[in-house]
Chains A and B, each alone.
Chain A
């Protein structure tokens, strides 16, 4: 019996067609997985099913009846969604968290004994061994994760969506989760399972739908496909038609990292190098350690083994300040949280890292700073009325230009760009690529982190694929998107891969 049927689901965001007439159905007691590249539309689809977004067009049927959810609350009793984030009240006990929002009580008093009994029954049913009498904060991280999931299952919704549930779980915990999901299926619950880990998906799912560019390009029975076939379905054919890129005039190594290992940390034996004039892409799934590696170097670290040289000198840093002094700068992913000071205007933001260089006896040289700001605004074509405009009034693209423009005249050898084009319109995206290419042409080494394989393949000279805090493979032009995707998401999760 068809539990859920979605017909022609379309979602138009300003400037982006996120979902294009997606058909999808889910049987009772079925695990139906959805896979696809970053930006293929998976999370938009989930949000529509969960009532977060309203579809621009299309209809959703539950048990044959058309439904229209007005809010996530409205959808929650029918469709439970397990997000990647923990949603627990920290100081409540496990039991109180389970019952949150549906407490049992008489005359306004909580029926503690009754809740305890029901919670224990529920835990026994799933063979879980979590102490529900302890505050959530005192539970182990994996148990907290599990409790978040159990909280949703506790309401016994007929449909449960798992959105990347294993991202924060250990191997053992993942195995427990898979057992739980299979038990749910046996009990007749229908499950939508979203994951980047293809082996996991192939192992667990009954059917798999592949989303690409907002379209459902195929729905296949899991036993009938291979990992390679799935990856091939996920890849955009246009992607293979790469722009011929001028072989860059590669200089000597600017940054060279050899066997970088943080004892007791997650990084081990990281080897890579970035040459002058080169744009080096870092591909990997969220949680693969791309950003963490950049931040480890830029924000500084105390204990490590291995050898890091920047422009021929040994590099060691304990703070961004020291990194900047040695010639490493970073344009962070979270523009508003880490790139800009919201209460500052454009000129003030641009000045932050270069105040000392434009000062006299501790006083700002305002005219020089103003001239510098105006030069940056002009050169990067930042659309502002004046440099005294508040940054919060700028578009995402212009905010990004301010965030990177502040480093403009820094004599840095290596620039880290973390997701520089996320949430930016197409036009500004190509401007940002232009800026990166120009900087490379001027001899800088560009460290380019992106979730968008398309842009990596288009812009980068070389690409490192990362997985589980290791660099798994290095790719040279011409790139094979298939090979890169396979390196990023293929093979067994949690197992070490040989480069």
Chain B
């Protein structure tokens, strides 16, 4: 492997390591274990929702609804518990709601044949409407069961439960993609739907499955958000849309060229999380963080498109 190939291939990971080292040396308090755990806690929700989006991207579709589905789940889980529904049932109901959104997205894409971009734009708007129908625009504050709050705020030893949940989801997603038959078929479907169909893969099913996993991950994120805040507001997860896209795109440049992968998404989340944390510690203004993040995403995508061109040149 030539040097330039090495850099395009592992450039994203190297960039993260360099960023990490620079902050470790230059920013007091960054390397502190408590701060590092803090970074992981800060990226946990974003990582989980982006892992869902990663599965959608793996089957070759897009999802613009996940942030609104997460917000919807976050207000509904709070609302249900306020009305006395047991936490476990409230959580499961929300996950089922996320799955239902994914299923609706998937069926509209595969059976009706509408582009996922348009389908999920519409279902996202519907989710938003449902949020306001349910909340009338007000946030829910209430005492929530301790067992429910543990997910977002609890610790096992020094480790936040939220971080453990993130790693569990990452582990499951990674194993599924790398080691299971379903994972290989999800990737085949996204890679070339015609070839996969002719090879006997039930491509419609796997497209739906990808979108359903995206919906469930979004709902889970919404539930965890409510658990972490102890409250739910109508636009709680709104910010996840842009950031989720950003880290998945970043992640696509890590490891395999242009192929979304759970580990890649995690690397993307680490970069964004580290950047946010380091810049905050440095006292950078919030708007500076956004500008730097935007520039990094452009850089990553440029690298990725160079890689793709290099590969295509060889065909």
Contacts and interface: CB of A to CB of B under 8 A. Distances in A.
B195 A337 contact: yes
Interface string A324-358: 11000010100011111111100010011101100
B179 interface: yes
B315 A324 contact: no
Contacts of B199: 320, 352-353, 406
B202 A352 contact: no
A339 B198 CA distance: 8
Interface stretch (B101-109, B185-193, B224-232): B185-193
Contacts of A340: 192, 195
Contacts of B242: none
Contacts of A359: 180-181
Contacts of A13: none
Given A355-B181, A363-B180, A364-B180, A344 B188 contact: yes
Nearest to B204: A319
A321 interface: yes
A94 B195 CA distance: 36
A430 B312 CA distance: 28
Nearest to A345: B256
Interface string B165-209: 000000000000001111111011011101111111110000000
Contacts of B182: 362
Contacts of B312: 392
A392 B311 contact: yes
Contact of A344 (B179, B181, B191, B258): B191
A390 interface: yes
A226 interface: no
A421 B190 CA distance: 27
A299 B190 CA distance: 20
Contacts of A332: 195, 198
B259 interface: yes
Of B188, B197, B200, B312, chain A has the most CB atoms within 10 Å of the CB of B200
Majority DSSP secondary structure for residues of A touching B = helix
Interface in A66-103: none
A393 interface: yes
Contacts of B111: none
Contacts of A339: 195, 198
A342 B256 CA distance: 12
Given A321-B200, A330-B198, A341-B191, A364 B314 contact: no
Nearest to A336: B315
Given A355-B184, A362-B181, A364-B179, A338 B314 contact: no
Contact of A352 (B184, B311, B315): B184
A352 B188 contact: yes
A343 B191 contact: yes
A366 interface: yes
A362 B195 contact: no
Contacts of B180: 359, 362-364
A338 B259 contact: no
Q: Most B CB atoms within 10 A — which of A298, A325, A338, A406? A: A338
A443 B144 CA distance: 70
A342 B192 contact: yes
Contact of A341 (B192, B202, B256, B315): B192
A351 B185 CA distance: 10
A320 B202 CA distance: 9
A363 B182 CA distance: 8
Contacts of A337: 192, 194-195
Contacts of B192: 337-338, 340-343
A332 B197 CA distance: 12
Interface string A158-201: 00000000000000000000000000000000000000000000
Contacts of A355: 181, 184-185
Most chain A C-beta atoms within 10 Å of own C-beta, residue among B183, B258, B315? B315
Contact of B315 (A343, A362, A393): A393
> Among B179, B183, B199, which residue has the most Cβ atoms of chain A within 10 A?
B199
Given A320-B197, A337-B195, A340-B192, A351 B184 contact: yes
Contacts of A344: 187-188, 191
Given A392-B314, A393-B311, A352 B179 contact: no
Given A320-B199, A338-B195, A392 B181 contact: no
B259 A343 contact: yes
Contacts of A392: 311-312, 314-315
B202 A321 contact: yes
Given A352-B201, A392-B314, A393-B311, A341 B196 contact: yes
Nearest to A344: B191
A160 B180 CA distance: 57
B132 to A, nearest CB: 36
A356 B315 contact: no
B184 to A, nearest CB: 6
> Which residue, of B181, B259, B312, has the highest number of chain A Cβ atoms within 10 A?
B181
Nearest to A323: B200
Interface in B252-302: 256-259
A344 B188 CA distance: 8
Contacts of B200: 320-321, 324-325, 353
B179 A390 contact: no
Contacts of A366: 179
A41 B64 CA distance: 50
Contacts of B259: 343
Interface in A4-38: none
Contacts of B196: 341, 352
A356 to B, nearest CB: 6
A332 to B, nearest CB: 6
A121 to B, nearest CB: 41
A283 B123 CA distance: 50
Contacts of A298: 198
A337 B257 CA distance: 19
Interface string A362-373: 111010000000
Interface of A: 298-299, 319-321, 324-325, 330, 332, 336-344, 348, 351-353, 355-356, 359, 362-364, 366, 390, 392-393, 406
Given A299-B198, A355-B181, 13 more contacts: A319-B202, A321-B200, A330-B198, A332-B198, A341-B195, A343-B258, A343-B259, A352-B195, A352-B196, A362-B182, A364-B180, A392-B312, A406-B199
10 closest cross-chain pairs (CB), A and B: A341-B191, A353-B199, A324-B200, A355-B181, A341-B192, A321-B200, A343-B191, A352-B199, A359-B181, A338-B194
27 contacts: A319-B197, A320-B199, A325-B200, A338-B192, A338-B198, A340-B195, A341-B191, A341-B195, A343-B187, A343-B192, A344-B187, A344-B188, A344-B191, A352-B185, A353-B200, A355-B181, A356-B181, A362-B181, A363-B179, A363-B180, A363-B181, A364-B180, A364-B181, A364-B184, A390-B311, A393-B315, A406-B199
